[in-house]
């Protein structure tokens, strides 16, 4: 499992805890996994579907310089910002 997010869902009036996970499985098992997920009523999204959704909701024109973007990348990677501020 690569990522995990807990949330709550309601099914037939009762609260059900749900988790979102990212699973890395062989391409040859995808058909089986999709059928399994459908049978259990799980929501299934491929990496490409998630990426397409992310791109769709992302802003097209961001008013940031390349240096500001790199400062944010460094802050995430190294826990601090290098450069001017």
Interior angle at CA 77, CA 73 and CA 81, nearest 5: 60
Looking at per-residue pLDDT, the higher value among 53 and 81 belongs to: 53
pLDDT tens for 16-54 read: 788 888 888 898 998 998 899 899 888 888 888 888 988
pLDDT for residue 81? 57
How far, in Å, CA of 39 to CA of 62, rounded?
A: 42
Residue 84 included in any domain = no
Residue 54 included in any domain = yes
Residue 85 included in any domain = no
Domain count along the chain: 1
Residue 83 included in any domain = no
Q: Are 20 and 5 in contact (CB under 8 A)?
A: yes
Q: Are 80 and 74 in contact (CB under 8 A)?
A: yes
Per the structure, the complete domain to which residue 13 belongs is given by: 4-78
């Amino acid at each position: 499992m690569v990522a995990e997010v807990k949330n709550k869902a309601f099914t037939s009036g009762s609260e059900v805890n749900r988790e979102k996970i990212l699973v890395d499985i062989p391409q040859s098992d995808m058909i089986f996994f999709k059928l399994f997920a459908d049978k259990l009523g799980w929501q299934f999204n491929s990496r490409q579907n998630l990426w397409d959704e992310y791109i769709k909701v992302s802003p097209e024109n961001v008013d940031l310089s390349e240096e500001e973007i790199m400062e944010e990348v460094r802050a995430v990677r190294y826990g601090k910002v290098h450069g001017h501020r």
